[in-house]
Amino acid sequence: MYHIVCPAKYRKAVFTDEVDTYLKDVCLEISKRYEIIFIEIVTDEDHVHFLVQSVPMYSPKKLVQIIKSITAKKIFKKFPDLKLDAN
């Protein structure tokens, strides 16, 4: 089990209720594709906490890489304004 904390770029307050809901949906998709179980996902305005369980073949680095790359790509695609606000 791993506790992963991912802050938003420049600690901007980007995790609204709408983004939070979409993030959880994306994580469900990740669970179906990879052997990753999201036990808990909690967002604050400027960061997100993941409590994750996975098979031993994934290193902690690989887990973070999978989660951050897929969630960022999908969130920026659905909410392009977030990427502009981060600059």
Q: What is the pLDDT of residue 5?
A: 95
Task: Delimit the domains of the chain by residue range.
Answer: 2-86
Q: What is the pLDDT of residue 67?
A: 96
Rounded mean pLDDT of the chain?
91
Percent of the chain with pLDDT over 70: 95
pLDDT digits (tens, 9 = 90+) for 11-40: 888 899 999 999 999 999 999 999 999 999
**CATH number, domain 2-86:** 3.30.70.1290
Q: Which helix (H) or strand (E) holds 15?
A: none
Q: What is the pLDDT of residue 84?
A: 64
pTM, whole model, 2 decimals?
0.86
Q: Where are the strands (E) in the chain, listed by range?
A: 2-7, 36-43, 47-54
Strand order through the sheet with 47-54: 2-7, 47-54, 36-43
Q: What is the pLDDT of residue 81?
A: 85
Which tokens sit at 18?
């709408």
Only one residue has tokens 């695609």, namely 77
